Amino acid sequence: MNVTELSEDDRTAVNTLRGAVMRLSRRLRHQRVDESLSPTEMSVLGTLARCGSATPGELARKEHVQPPSMTRIVAMLESKGLVHRDPHPDDRRQVVVRQTEQAETMLEESRARRNAFLAELMATLSEEERAVLREAAPVLEKLAHADARNR
């Protein structure tokens, strides 16, 4: 579906949601523990936290970046002591990337800091508004993982 096919109400909602998500995302990014990491580097660490380990090619696909870019990102994270590259168990030409304990600790601290920030913001809302957010959270999660091109 293209934006011109939406009702006027839906077009307004799309515009409002886009702006709100971008502003909130920017504010949450400022709550991270390590300011020296780029949003992409943080995202790669988050992906590794969820999947455990991955090849650079798998990470590139998950992060929607080109493999050479992911190679540079992994090298930067490795130089900061946040990931290890281990030999692939089945293919000696490949490596498997996993996060270090230092990365796990940093991600946990960052997540806690962001959650506290968001909880403070939510505390300013009415109970009804918080109920709406609780209902909307799974829908927003679905949107975050949807691929509009491959429905």
- pLDDT band of residue 148 (cuts 50, 70, 90) is low
Lowest mean pLDDT among 27-36, 101-110, 111-120, 122-131: 27-36
Domain covering 31-145, topology: Arc Repressor Mutant, subunit A (1.10.10)
pLDDT at residue 69, as a whole number: 96
> Would the pLDDT of 54 be above 90?
yes
Summarize the confidence of residues 46-67 as an average pLDDT: 94
pLDDT on residue 106: 92
Question: Which residues, 6+ apart, have CB-to-CB distance to 66 below 8 Å?
Answer: 60
What is the reported pLDDT for 146?
82
> Are 51 and 97 within 8 A, CB to CB?
no
**Across residues 68-90, what is the average pLDDT?**
95
**Spatial contact of 28 and 51, defined as CB atoms under 8 Å apart:** no
Coil, helix or strand at residue 125 = coil
Looking up tokens 């692939």, which residue turns up?
88
Average pLDDT in the chain: 91
Q: What is the pLDDT of residue 151?
A: 47
- Please report which confidence band the pLDDT of residue 95 belongs to, taking 50, 70 and 90 as the band edges: very high
